């Protein structure tokens, strides 16, 4: 019985607990955090079982209200959706464990609405993954977006301005998506993704269908921060509170990438579309630009969180490159990079949160080698995350780039192979800039002599508390473990996701 | 592209115009409230587009009337876009609400709603 309901269970759990938290939190404010954590913990086994069930017996579909598929709204759990749902629940669980202390330091008076918003955000994300209906996807997109605007607004002094900018641009994005859906609906008469995919080959020559696709991709590109539609991202991520940015940066843009995959590869047939409008090539070229632009801008940043935000623009570029190549290896690389980037960005943003709580700032210029002894474990996690971002062999980041490069070679996209390698070098420069400051002593310049404690010997321990350290280290460990398990993942899990059209 | 093309699609021309007006307001206006007004015009245009797609000549409201004796779908306009747009209107109201809440918060912190002044005060 529970198997038939699997697609709906995860989003519904989040949605209901998001409504329960303010009701109970009104009387007992302290209950908000345990409730949120319990909800997220409850969804992990459901999502895990969903993935196991889908891998074992094929996609599970659920029709809301008993209305059969093309007429009613359908929820479908297929390999891609169940895998990413599990990713969202696991990463958000680790971030929430980390959040307990951070949120009580950064915004103590907003606990109840904060956790309610977090769960609404997750409900939106998991709903987007599970739904099989184009308009329903818009509704979940708006749920997650509205919660996201609220989360970005809870932060430092300038956060409402960043949130407002995010709201205006996000509304343009979702508006374009809705308009594109309207085009597709008017032409095909259906909103169900599987049904639309069946009808589309007959009407693909209509300009309105292609215009609808372009509108949808542009809208989702804005939400995904696909270069050059990324301009809202750095402000939004760097002025949000540490917990919000640790949730939004690894997961928010990945969900956008998922929608792109769903529309480009599952609803539309990429090869047939490519003959009419070169949409995947355009995505690939723009993403290549994004990799270089994001990396160069990250190099110029003096604030750790802002540097991570620009590096997100670059990493989304990698995902876009893999999708734009539109071959199985590139697709594998893109999906693997969605997973890896979610984990490594979460790990690095948690390190940023540790720095903010323990030191009160995350300025790169103010970091020095004492940090490696004050916060040894956090800095070790930073190094693992940085190695993975650069893509050095034992870590997970290497393998996704490996598949992206293989995809580039298979399709003879030599420029893209060059961009991926050059992007890795730029990553190395901007992360080693931080790692060097943290680990290498005897920096030149008078600032070192003016150290208040008069020498390097007196170093107090300022490591983050266990509840913050444990999730950071688990994520860093996961980067190493996933690096070792990547061939298993690709052969056993991601292999099943590759759409038939590729 | 004759005169019939322009005259035959005049509703779509109006919708395109509204879309452009909304986009212009959101992206080019320097006053933050005007950006929100632009957003509303933009969303209204999309709603009108869906409604326009649902309409048919010589069709009536989609409630099956036994007195009419007709169950031919061609006699009734398509009700689905209307229900979809009810959801979209709710979303639009919610977005406007969040937008105004953010504007109040911005005004309390910076005492201005003009983007240029705001950028100066944020430094």
Task: With beta carbons less than 8 A apart as the criterion, state whether A152 and A169 touch.
Answer: no
Give the mean model confidence (pLDDT) for residues A92-103: 90
pLDDT of residue A285: 93
- Token pair belonging to A174: 């979702």
Distance (Å, rounded) from C-alpha A258 to C-alpha A485? 22
Going by C-alpha positions, the residue among A252, A189, A184, A251 that lies closest to residue A217 is A184
**Cβ partners under 8 Å of residue B21, min gap 6:** B38, B41
pLDDT band at A464 (very low <50, low <70, confident <90, very high): confident
pLDDT digits (tens, 9 = 90+) for A151-199: 999 888 889 999 999 999 999 999 999 999 999 999 998 999 999 999 9
Please give the tally of structural domains in chain B.
Answer: 1
What pLDDT does A450 receive?
45
> What does the alpha-carbon distance between residue B123 and residue A283 come to, in Å, rounded to a whole number?
35
Q: What is the mean pLDDT of chain A?
A: 88
Is it the case that residue A455 has pLDDT exceeding 70? no
Work out the burial of residue A404: count CB atoms within 10 Å of its CB; fewer than 13 is exposed, 13-18 middle, 19 or more buried: buried
How sure is the predictor about A335, in pLDDT bands with cuts at 50, 70 and 90? very high
Residue A348 and residue A431 in contact, taking contact as beta carbons nearer than 8 Å: no
Predicted confidence band of residue A130 (pLDDT cuts 50, 70, 90): very high
Which neighbouring-strand residues pair with A390? none
Per DSSP, the three-state class of A192 is: strand
Q: Give the B-side interface with A, CB within 8 Å.
A: 19, 23, 26-27, 32, 35-36, 39, 42-43, 46, 49-50, 53, 81, 84, 87-88, 91, 94-95, 98-99, 102-103, 105-106, 109-110, 118, 122
What pLDDT score was predicted for residue A443? 57
pLDDT at A453 over 60: no
Q: What is the pLDDT of residue A267?
A: 92
In this prediction, residue A347 carries a pLDDT of 93
Range in A44-48, A385-389, A440-444 the model is least confident about? A440-444
C-alpha distances in angstroms, A454 versus A325, A371, A429, A447, A450? 56, 16, 31, 12, 7
The strand pairing partners of A229, in sequence order, are none
Q: What percent of chain A has pLDDT over 70?
A: 96
What whole-number distance in Å separates Cα of residue B2 and Cα of residue A349?
A: 58
Is the pTM above the cut of 0.80? yes
Residue A301 Cα, gap to closest chain B Cα (Å): 16
Sign (positive or negative) of CA dihedral A179, A181, A182, A188: positive
The DSSP letter of residue A491 is I
CA A26 to each of CA A13, A30, A91: distance values in angstroms, whole numbers, following the listed order:
20, 10, 28
3-state secondary structure of A443: coil
- Report which of A183, A106, A117 is spatially closest to residue A148, judged by C-alpha positions: A117
Dihedral of the CA atoms A475, A481, A482, A484 (nearest 10)? 160
The pair of three-digit structure tokens given for residue A443, joined into one six-digit string = 């920096």
Q: What domain range includes position B93?
A: 3-122
Task: Examine the pLDDT at B86 and tell me if it is beyond 90.
Answer: yes
Stretch A269-279: mean pLDDT, rounded?
88
Over residues A416-422, the mean pLDDT reads 92
Chain B CB contacts of A171 under 8 Å are: 26, 39, 42-43, 95
pLDDT digits (tens, 9 = 90+) for B26-57: 989 999 999 999 999 999 999 999 998 888 88
CATH number of the domain within which B18 lies = 1.10.287.3510
- Residue to mutate among B21, B74, B95, with most A CBs inside 10 A, is B95
Calpha distance A110→A261 (Å, rounded): 36
Residue B114 has pLDDT above 70, yes or no: yes
What are the residues of chain A with a beta carbon less than 8 Å away from any beta carbon of chain B? 135, 138-139, 142, 146, 149-150, 153, 157-158, 160-161, 163-164, 167-168, 171-172, 175, 178-179, 182, 185-186
Identify whether the C-beta of residue B56 lies closer than 8 Å to the C-beta of residue B74: yes
**Residue B70 pLDDT:** 66
Can you name the residues that pair with B114 across neighbouring β-strands?
A: B31
Q: Is the pLDDT of residue A477 over 60?
A: yes
Q: Which position has the token pair 């996000």?
A: A170
pLDDT digits (tens, 9 = 90+) for A283-308: 999 999 999 999 999 998 888 999 99
Whether the predicted pLDDT of A202 surpasses 80: yes
Asked if residue A374 lies in contact with residue A462, where contact means CB atoms within 8 angstroms, the answer is yes
Strand stretches in A37-84, DSSP E: 60-63, 74-77
Q: What would the mean pLDDT of A63-84 be, rounded to a whole number? A: 87
Which ranges of A107-206 would DSSP assign to H, the alpha helix? 111-130, 134-153, 159-188, 193-203
Question: Of A58, A85, A62, A49, which is closest to residue A7 (Cα–Cα)?
Answer: A62
pLDDT at A451: 47
Q: Looking at B8-114, which runs of residues are DSSP E strands?
A: none
What pLDDT is attached to residue A69? 78
| Residue A500 confidence class, pLDDT cut points 50, 70, 90 | confident
Q: Going along A19-146, which residue ranges are E strands? A: 60-63, 74-77
d(CA A353, CA A385) in angstroms, rounded, equals 14
Q: Which residues of A touch B49 (CB under 8 A)?
A: 179, 182
* Among the partner residues A146, A161, A186, nearest to B106 by beta-carbon distance: A161
> Rounded CA gap, A36 and A39, in Å?
5
Instruction: Find out whether B23 and A172 touch, Cβ atoms under 8 Å.
Output: yes
The confidence score (pLDDT) of residue A116 equals 93
Instruction: State whether B94 and A142 contact (CB < 8 Å).
Output: yes
Tell me how far apart the alpha carbons of residues A319 and A226 are, in angstroms, rounded to a whole number: 9
Q: Is the model's pLDDT at A458 over the cut of 60? A: no
Rg (C-alpha) for chain B, rounded Å, is 21
**Can you give the residue ranges of every domain in chain A?**
278-442+460-502
**Chain pair A-B, CB pairs under 8 angstroms:** 68
| Confidence band, pLDDT 50/70/90 cuts, at residue B63 | confident
What is the mean pLDDT of the segment spanning A386-412? 90
pLDDT recorded at residue A155: 81
Determine the Cα–Cα distance for residues A22 and A26; give it in Å rounded to an integer.
6
Helix (H, G, I), strand (E, B), or coil: what is residue B38?
A: helix
The pair of three-digit structure tokens given for residue B55, joined into one six-digit string:
């309409």
pLDDT tens digits along A222-270: 999 888 888 888 888 888 888 888 899 889 889 999 999 999 999 998 8
């Amino acid at each position: 019985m529970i198997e038939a309901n699997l697609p709906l269970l995860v989003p519904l759990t989040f949605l209901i607990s998001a409504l329960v938290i303010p009701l109970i939190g009104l009387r007992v404010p302290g209950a908000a955090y345990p409730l949120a954590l319990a909800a997220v913990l409850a969804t992990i086994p459901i999502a895990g079982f969903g993935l196991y069930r889908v891998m074992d017996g094929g996609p599970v579909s659920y029709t809301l209200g008993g209305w059969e598929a093309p007429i009613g709204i359908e929820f479908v759990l297929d390999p891609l959706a169940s895998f990413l749902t599990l990713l969202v629940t696991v990463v958000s669980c680790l971030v929430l464990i980390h959040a307990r202390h951070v949120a009580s330091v950064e915004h103590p008076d907003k606990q109840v609405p904060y956790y309610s918003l977090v769960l609404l955000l997750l409900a939106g994300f998991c709903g987007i993954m599970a739904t099989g209906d184009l308009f329903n996807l818009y509704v979940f997109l708006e749920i997650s977006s509205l919660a996201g605007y609220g989360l970005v607004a809870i932060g430092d002094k300038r956060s409402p301005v960043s949130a407002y900018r995010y709201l205006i641009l996000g509304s343009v994005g979702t508006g374009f998506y809705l308009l594109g859906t309207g085009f597709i609906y008017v032409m095909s008469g259906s909103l169900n993704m599987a049904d639309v995919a069946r009808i589309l080959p007959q009407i693909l020559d209509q300009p309105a269908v292609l215009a609808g696709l372009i509108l949808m991709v542009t809208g989702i590109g804005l939400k995904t921060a696909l270069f050059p539609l990324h301009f809202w991202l750095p402000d939004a991520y760097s002025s949000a509170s540490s917990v919000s940015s640790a949730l939004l940066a690894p997961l928010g843009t990945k969900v956008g990438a998922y929608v792109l995959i769903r529309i480009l590869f599952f609803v539309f047939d990429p090869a047939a579309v490519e003959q009419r409008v070169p949409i995947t090539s355009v995505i690939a070229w723009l993403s290549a630009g994004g990799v270089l632009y994001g990396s160069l801008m990250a190099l110029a940043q003096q604030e750790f969180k802002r540097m991570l935000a620009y590096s997100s623009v670059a990493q989304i570029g990698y995902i876009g490159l893999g999708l734009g190549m539109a071959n199985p290896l590139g697709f594998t690389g893109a999906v693997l990079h969605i997973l890896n980037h979610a984990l490594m960005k979460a790990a690095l943003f948690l390190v940023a949160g540790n720095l903010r709580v323990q030191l009160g700032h995350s300025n790169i210029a103010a970091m020095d080698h004492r940090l490696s002894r004050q916060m040894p474990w956090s800095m070790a996690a930073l190094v693992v995350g940085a190695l993975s971002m650069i893509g050095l062999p034992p870590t997970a980041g290497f393998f996704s780039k490996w598949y992206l490069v293989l995809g580039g070679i298979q399709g003879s996209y030599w420029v893209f192979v060059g961009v991926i390698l050059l992007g890795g070098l730029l990553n190395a420069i901007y992360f080693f800039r931080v790692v060097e400051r943290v680990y290498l002593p005897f920096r030149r310049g008078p600032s070192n002599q003016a150290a208040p404690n008069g020498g390097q010997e007196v170093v107090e321990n300022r490591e983050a508390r266990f509840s913050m350290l444990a999730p950071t280290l688990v994520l860093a460990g996961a980067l190493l473990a996933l690096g070792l398990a990547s061939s298993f993942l690709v052969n056993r899990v991601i292999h099943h996701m590759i759409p038939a059209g590729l | 592209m004759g005169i019939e093309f322009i005259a035959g699609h005049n509703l779509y021309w109006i919708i395109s115009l509204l879309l452009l007006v909304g986009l212009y307001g959101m992206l080019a206006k320097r006053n933050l409230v005007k950006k929100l007004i632009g957003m509303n015009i933009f969303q209204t245009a999309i709603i009108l587009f869906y409604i326009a797609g649902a309409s048919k000549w010589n069709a009536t409201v989609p409630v099956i009337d036994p007195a009419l004796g007709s169950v031919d779908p061609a006699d009734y306009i398509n009700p689905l876009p209307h229900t979809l747009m009810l959801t979209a209107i709710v979303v639009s109201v919610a977005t406007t609400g969040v937008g105004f809440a953010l504007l109040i918060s911005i005004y309390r912190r910076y005492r201005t709603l003009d983007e240029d002044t705001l950028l100066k005060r944020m430094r």
